[in-house]
Structure 1
Amino acid sequence: MLSIIIVNYFTRDHVAACVESIREHASDVDLEVIVVDNSREDDVRAAVEPICPDAIVIESPRNLGFGAACNLAGGRARGEHILLINPDVVVLPGAIQEILAFARRRPEGGIWGGRTLRPDGSLNPASCWRAMSTWSLLCRILALDNAMPDSPLFNYHGYGGWSRADEREVEVVSGCFLLIAKPLWDALRGFDEQFFVYGEDVDLCLRAAALGYRPCVTPRATVIHEGGSSEKVKAGKMIRLLTANTQLIRKHAGRPRAVVQAALLQMWPLSRYLAFRLATTLGMRRCEAGLQTWREVWRALRDQGQGAHLPSSRPVE
């Protein structure tokens, strides 16, 4: 059996579409669907049960965060494998069958992923990436990864230049479509719940690799991933993302590398803030919104570095 876990946070319509795509394209797979509702007022049960009457819907009285919600569902999972699927993912024909076949062919992976496309059919490269490094942070500060996204050197973090058209080992499989063997999930005790949202998939893959597993992805398992369906405010999203990156540095980067990377991480939003400030000073009024956003992000990360409470580190409950 396969256990599919979906976490809802005010994404009711997306969850319904996701579950419908699973039922349509994986009717021949022995599976169970477990949905954790992190949004008390969304009533996702009413949307899911007509489509999948045997789905397990766990209603949380508060927003647990992504990692803790997955752990809660993982405790109920009966499958030999657990497949994490974001609510804004639409499963395409053969995707679930192919990722299960891939896991059987590559058991050494322990964690497996697929290829993600945007709704318009173009490649969404965020199905996998490398763990954060000093070099990738430097490229991010200088915006080299954005300027040359197809460069394997300057977009090292995002596997620049790779079309995702072949099977490869990767450092990180995105939690948007991630298959893991249940025994490995149990051995790792699921996600580290210090990561409220973002970073938990990176940490999981790094811990699996430390045990000798080799996460990998296959293009045969392809899904549509819209991305960002539960995150509407850019400043809040960036603060949470950078908070998770700070936690990853503290956990996985030994000194003195951690000190260097933490400093570089703070320079990223600072560099964007200064760039937008210069642009607005030169009269580019269209940059004022960007200036406000990056000012907020930089100040939040700066306060975190000084040991102060990080505002908006968790979504409002």
Structure 2
Amino acid sequence: MQLSRFSLNVYKHFAEDMEVDGEKPDIGFKQRGYLFLATEKMMPQFEKNMMLQHRNGVDSQLLDIEDLRGLIPELTISDLAGGLYCSESGYLDAYSVMQGYIKYAKHLGAEYIYEEVSDLLIEGQQMKGVRLKNGETCTAPVVVNCGGAWGAQLSEKAGIKFSIVPSPRQIFQFDCEKKLKNYLPLTMDPTGVYFRHEGEQMIAGYSEPIRSDFDFSWRREDFIENVWPPLAHRIPNFERVKIVRGWAGIYDYNTEDHNAIIGQYPKIEGYYVAFGFSGHGMQQAPGVGKGMSELIRKGKYETIDLSPLRPERFAEHQLVIEDAIY
């Protein structure tokens, strides 16, 4: 929550802070809220979640049935008891965020080399740099591996193993015959299916079974079998829809506790990692970048203490369990 709060503030001011030569990046940041729908059985846990969020400065609220109808008039509520809603939450265009950071970093003098890294160069217990796939080497006393789903594989080639697997996730974009009255928050159904507006159309996805694979294909039948039935039940407008397109991406899924692995690897001086986010990397990215910068430059965290997410927590049996992964 601390990471998310920090990152939210960064995204709110991203265009102004990353302005270069009068050009402000447009990251498509829309604060339409997050809404988690709950059955009667789920409500006690949601109340605990809300109290924890309040203690950490998150302005979330429990909604009753009438409140839900106020947000989504078309909602089927017969099997719901309420929901947990945070109006501050939202979504953005991750690619535009990346390009905004790149442009500003270059403005400050950073050099980008667009080549695949094939190997880490380590001598004894000291990081020496990386070897690129084209055979060139880049020497450096500090290397940060933030390779996402590919990061653990690169690390394993150097004999350093992390419990991270590439896990595909699909998103489906569709149009419905009868439009909704309101723009939707990102809404999570008790079934694990989620949906929200994307422009004037809709996108949806679901909690797919974990499978280790670099699979970027999307399957129309997965929408028809796993997503459409819960959608049509929850909002009758979704009974008649047309799939516009779909796409797939890869989670760097941490199989141990579903949270990021951040910090210096204890046995290799100068080797830092930031991966294993399991799907909430963009939500935490600015805070992680800030913390990693402090750790490398000053040897300690100052803004947010990220030490609970240290790589050695697994050997120390100090896991940071995250259950809300979809």
Asked whether the two chains share a fold, i.e. TM above 0.5, the reply is no
The two structures have a TM-score, normalised by structure 2, of 0.27
Bigger radius of gyration: 2
The two structures have a TM-score, normalised by structure 1, of 0.27
